[in-house]
Amino acid sequence: MQDDARVDELAITVIGRDRPGIIADVAEVLAGLGMNLTDSTMTRLRGHFAMTLVCTGSQGGEAVEEQTGSPALEDVEAALAPLAANGSLVTTVSRVRPEPAPESPGGHYVLSVHGADRLGIVASVARGLAEFGGNITDLTTRLSGDLYVLVAELDLPAGADVDLIHERLDAVARALGVDVALRPAETDVL
Amino acid sequence: MTSVAGWSIEDLGLNGEVRPVVRAPAPVLATAGERVDPCGPEVLQLAADLVATMRVSPGCVGLAAPQIGVSAQVFAVDVTGHPKARTVHGTFVLCNARLGEASQWNKGREGCMSVPELTGDVKRAGRVVVVGDLPGGGATEITTDAFEARALQHEIDHCAGLLFLDRVAGAHAIHTRKVHL
Give the minimum alpha-carbon distance from B161 to chain A in angstroms, rounded to a whole number: 15
Question: At what angle are helices A22-32 and A73-84 packed, to 10 degrees?
Answer: 150
Range picked from A50-54, A60-64, B56-60 for highest mean pLDDT: A50-54
**Could you give the 3-state DSSP secondary structure of residue B87?**
coil
User: Are the Cβ atoms of A43 and B178 closer than 8 angstroms?
Assistant: no
Q: Across the interface, do A189 and B61 touch by the CB < 8 Å criterion?
A: yes
- Boundary residue ending a domain (A45, A74, A95): A95
| Facing B177 at nearest CB: one of A42, A140, A187 | A187
pLDDT score, position A64: 44
Residues A20 and A87 in one domain: yes
Residue A119 has pLDDT above 80, yes or no: yes
pLDDT band with cut points at 50, 70 and 90 for residue B181:
very low
**Nearest-CA distance from A5 to chain B in Å?**
31
Whether the per-residue pLDDT at A131 is higher than 60: the answer is yes
| A124 in Cβ contact with A168 (< 8 Å) | no
pLDDT at B49 exceeding the cut of 80: yes
> Could you tell me which residues are beta bridge partners of residue B34?
B72
Express as a percent the part of chain A with pLDDT over 90.
72
Per-range mean pLDDT, top range of A66-75, A139-148, B168-177: A139-148
The highest-level CATH class for domain B4-176 is alpha beta
Range of the domain at A176: 108-184
Give the total number of structural domains in chain A: 2
A171 and A122 within one domain: yes
- Do A139 and A178 share a domain, yes or no? yes
- Domain membership of residue A103 (yes or no) is no
Residues A20, A50: one domain?
yes
Which pLDDT does position B125 carry in this prediction? 98
**What are the extents of the domains in chain B?**
4-176
Cis check for the bond before A157: say yes or no (omega within 30 of 0): no
A7–chain B nearest CA distance, Å: 25
Amino acid B22: pLDDT: 96
Q: Which residue of chain B has the CA closest to A101?
A: B178
Averaged confidence pLDDT in chain A = 87
Q: β-strands A147-155, A135-144: how paired?
A: antiparallel
Q: Tell me the CATH number at A157.
A: 3.30.70.260
Evaluate whether residue A124 is within a structural domain: yes
Domain identity same for A119 and A50: no
Residue A68, pLDDT above cutoff 80: no
Catalytic site residue from B34, B110, B148, B155: B155
Any B CB within 8 A of A141 CB: no
Do A36 and A84 lie in one domain? The reply is yes
| Closest alpha carbon to B63 in B48, B51, B79 | B51
A83 and A136, same domain (yes or no)? no
Give yes or no: residues A126 and A89 share one domain. Answer: no
Task: Tell me the mean pLDDT in the region A71-91.
Answer: 93
> Taking residues A4-23, what's their average pLDDT?
84
Predicted ipTM?
0.71
Whether residue A180 lies inside any domain: the answer is yes
The pLDDT value recorded for residue A69 is 61
**What are the phi and psi torsion angles at A113 (to 5°)?**
-130, 135
Residue A62 has what pLDDT? Answer: 46
pLDDT for B127-150, tens place per residue? Answer: 999 999 999 989 999 999 999 999
Confidence category of residue B161, pLDDT binned at 50, 70, 90: very high
The model carries a pTM of: 0.84
Domain assignment present for residue A100? The answer is no
Q: Does residue A90 sit in the same domain as residue A21? A: yes
- Using a CB-CB cut-off of 8 Å, the residues of chain A touching B156 are none
Check residue B179 and give its pLDDT. 60
Once rounded to an integer, what is the mean pLDDT over residues B55-71? Answer: 96
B95 labelled binding-site residue: no
Q: What average pLDDT score do residues B72-95 get? A: 97
Determine the Cα–Cα distance for residues B102 and B164; give it in Å rounded to an integer: 17
Asked whether residue A3 is domain-assigned, the answer is no
Same domain, A79 and A116: no
A105 neighbourhood in chain B, CB within 8 Å = 180
Contact A186 B108 (CB under 8 A): yes
Q: Is the pLDDT of residue A37 over 90?
A: yes
Same structural domain, A166 and A129: yes
Q: What's the pLDDT band for B11 if we cut at 50, 70, 90? A: very high
Interface membership of A99 toward B (CB under 8 Å): no
Q: Name A153's bridge partners.
A: A110, A138
Q: Note whether B111 contacts A188, CB cutoff 8 Å.
A: yes
Tell me whether A105 touches chain B (CB under 8 Å): yes
Residue A189 is assigned to a structural domain of this protein: no
- A190 assigned to some structural domain: no
Would residue A1 count as lying in a domain?
no
B34 catalytic per annotation = no
Chain B residue with the nearest C-alpha to that of A140 = B172
A82 and A153: one domain? no
Kind of pairing, strands A178-184 and B174-176? unpaired
